[in-house]
Amino acid sequence: MAVAVWKLPSFFQHAACFLFCPTGAMDFLEKPTIAFVRLKDTVVLESVLEAPIPVRFVFMLIGPSQSGIDYHESGRAMAALMADRVFNATASLAQASSDLTNAMADFMDCSIVIPPTEIQNESMLQSMVSFQKKMLQQRLRPSDTQLLLDDKLKASEEPKEDPLARTGRPFGGMIKDIKRRYRHYLSDFTDALNPQVLAAVIFIYFAALSPAITFGGLLADKTEHMMGVSELMISTCVQGVIFCILAAQPILVIGFSGPLLVFEEAFYGFCKSQGVEYIVGRVWVGIWLVIIVVVIVAAEGSFLVRYISRFTQEIFSVLISLIFIYETFAKLIRIFQAHPLVLNYESYPNTALLSMCLMFGCFFIAYFLRRFKTGHFLPGPLRRIIGDFGVPISIFFMIAVDISIEDAYTQKLVVPKGLTVSNTSARGWIINPMGEKIEFPIWMMVASVVPAILVFILIFLESQITTLIVSKPERKMVKGSGFHLDLLILVGMGGISAIFGVPWLSAATVRTVTHANALTVMSKGPKPEIEKVVEQRISGILVALLVGVSILMEPILKMIPMTALFGIFLYMGITSLSGIQLWDRTLLLLTPKKHFPTEAYATRVKPLRIHLFTLIQIVCLVILWVVKSSTVSLALPFVLILTIPLRILMTGRLFTEMEMKCLDADDAKVTFEEEPGEDVYTESPLP
């Protein structure tokens, strides 16, 4: 019996992973037996191999000697097959044996077999090799292009313009954004003639309406109804329509967010303590916002987004998720304090208990329907529809439960009738910058530049990071984006909107990614790939208009129990943690090493180094939370920015370049070209 160990192709060599091929003749067998095994993790076969080589794939072929099979050459052929990048990737991700047989048939369809006697000369052989190589490379799907290491193919790729490159001229970046994006303006409307756009509008409407209502209720609670649901919904409608008409990246869904809620609460508390009118102070903050954004865009300041690494992005993302989760339980605790449990259930139904049931019921139904989307029950299209509409379904179900229990009180959503402000006795739709009830102090007009800088930083971070996420190459978006132009439109609209006493908005990360996914066209087959994203402006415009029209649905909206919406808050907070590497690495603190995932950061960095990096991020997160909860919560954006130089200082001191590349770089940008002599930890590299 022969045993061979074949090294995998060059793009897996960094992983030191091998194919183990025990082949040979065993005469006690009646017929040949073959097996192909993919191990869950790489294993060092110490009892079989002399060298400590990690093995991931095992191919076994044994049988009687009289079968006529050359077992060793068959093992060599299997190793050659595994050396093909496409087949190797298929073997790494295969879910059934049919995936392997189909990949093998695909390989053979692109193979040319010529008897040696038919080869006339070396030039004929070279032309055949070149032709077969071209056929094999054409098998690569769009998402497999990263597997190609051919320099000629890389050189033939069309270079894309860097939207963050500085021109050195005032407003040069914004002018480039306009030239790059507006040439596709007409197609942004004609491309919308697609049934998928209509489906996306219906879905995103509920995805945008739920946070608008929920954040509006929270905003009214934090500001004593100086702003609330009506102001937020009108702001979402008007600013959303303007943004989608003018923006360079209309796929962005703008809305209110957790950090902006923290700022509004802190600024309201500050104005109240100083005896100045909060709603008037926002006008002067808005004036400074317009000045700041014009200066920043003129100086092409969006290039600074290059320095916002994954280290900062993840801390910011987890902070937003924790704000959602915290607000949910804080509200529930306040309900228990206002309506304590009683023992006489027959006469006094418990408001707190019913509120808790509505909140968790709404959360679990929405979460279950989200998981149901990828389950096995019901046909696929029906399953996806149910999953996509999981949030509104859960809200409507909890409304029905609340209505059916007539003798129990629950707090309902406070919605003004028609287009009226939340607090008609304190303000109108136009805010006098010199003061509504009392004269606004001059010193505060100047001092408003400080909170304006804080608001700008919040909008800058969330909007630019969201644009980066949506514009990743794997989404196949071809019309481009515009960091400078979109920042000017978004912040400029926010500054002007303060005159009308409506909230500032930023690009909402979760809603934007959901919008992009809803507009994504996938290829057909067992392994769907992204073909394109329907890039257009109509879906965003229609969603914004529908949110605005919803303000006239006061009879229906006032039936929604607040605790049901807080269940959606909990749902958004928990589901948004999914896919954040910081959260995954936090769970690794309690996970045995043998159960670590096969991601680059877990296979190429030692566990103690991973935990150290995670703990540093957790400490930064705790500091941000303490600042958010303290009297200096207005300084939250400044503290967040400090994580950028912290990350730079750690590189080369606490962590090597390779470690930071694995832990902090985007997955699509990770390369594994080690420097000579660099010590790199490697284990379990394949999925």
Q: Rounded to whole angstroms, how far apart are CA atoms 40 and 598?
A: 9
What's the confidence (pLDDT) of residue 414? 64
Task: Give the span between the Cα atoms of 276 and 252, in whole angstroms.
Answer: 35
Specify the range with the lowest mean pLDDT, choosing from 103-112, 153-162, 273-282: 153-162
450 against 61, higher pLDDT: 450
Predicted local confidence at residue 152, as pLDDT: 36
Report the distance separating Cα 511 and Cα 77, nearest Å: 49
Q: What is the pLDDT of residues 133-143, one digit of tens each?
A: 666 665 554 34
Residue 397's closest CA among 535, 228, 560? 560
Q: State mean pLDDT over 546-560.
A: 80
**pLDDT tens figures, 630-664:** 777 767 777 888 888 888 888 888 888 787 877 87
pLDDT tens, 399-415? 888 888 877 788 877 66
Q: Give me the pLDDT at residue 376, please.
A: 73
Cα torsion 454, 321, 601, 84: sign: negative
Residues 6+ apart with CB under 8 A from 136: 84, 86, 107, 110
Best mean pLDDT range from 151-165, 225-239, 305-319: 225-239
Per-residue confidence band for 191, with pLDDT thresholds at 50, 70 and 90: confident
**Rounded CA gap, 312 and 624, in Å?**
12
Is the pLDDT score of 258 beyond 80? Answer: no
DSSP 8-state class, residue 441: P
Q: What number is the average pLDDT over the span 67-76?
A: 74
> Residue 40: which H helix or E strand, with range?
strand 33-44
pLDDT at 133: 67
- Lookup: tokens for 505: 């908005």
d(CA 372, CA 366): 10
What rounded mean pLDDT belongs to the chain? Answer: 77
Give the pLDDT of residue 678.
Answer: 44
**Please, are residues 651 and 635 in contact by the beta-carbon 8 Å criterion?**
no
pLDDT of residue 157: 42
pLDDT of residue 72: 74
The answer on pLDDT for 369 being more than 60 is yes
Q: Which residues, other chains included, contact 200 with Cβ-Cβ below 8 Å and sequence gap of 6+?
A: 515, 518, 519, 534, 539
Paired tokens of 329: 């339980």
Q: What is the pLDDT of residue 290?
A: 92
| Pairing of the two strands 54-63 and 33-44 | antiparallel
Task: Decide if pLDDT at 346 tops 70.
Answer: no
Residue 224 has pLDDT above 60, yes or no: yes
Please give the Cα distance from 654 to 641 (Å, whole number).
20
Span 313-328, mean pLDDT?
A: 81
Asked if 110 and 132 count as a contact pair (C-beta separation under 8 A), the reply is yes
What local confidence, expressed as pLDDT, does residue 619 receive?
A: 92
Element housing 38 (H / E): strand 33-44
pLDDT at 403: 86
According to the model, what pLDDT value does residue 12 have?
Answer: 39
- Whether 5 contacts 18, CB under 8 Å: yes
Q: 48 by DSSP, 3-state: which?
A: coil
Residue 669 has pLDDT above 60, yes or no: no
The mean per-residue pLDDT over the stretch 555-572 comes to: 80
Question: For position 140, what pLDDT does the model report?
Answer: 53
Higher pLDDT residue, 444 or 345? 444
pTM of structure: 0.64
- For the stretch 107-111, contacts whose Cβ atoms lie closer than 8 Å and that sit 24 or more positions apart, written own/partner, are 107/81, 107/136, 107/139, 110/135, 110/136, 110/138, 110/139
DSSP 376: S
Determine the Cα–Cα distance for residues 213 and 389; give it in Å rounded to an integer.
Answer: 17
CA distance 337 to 180: 56
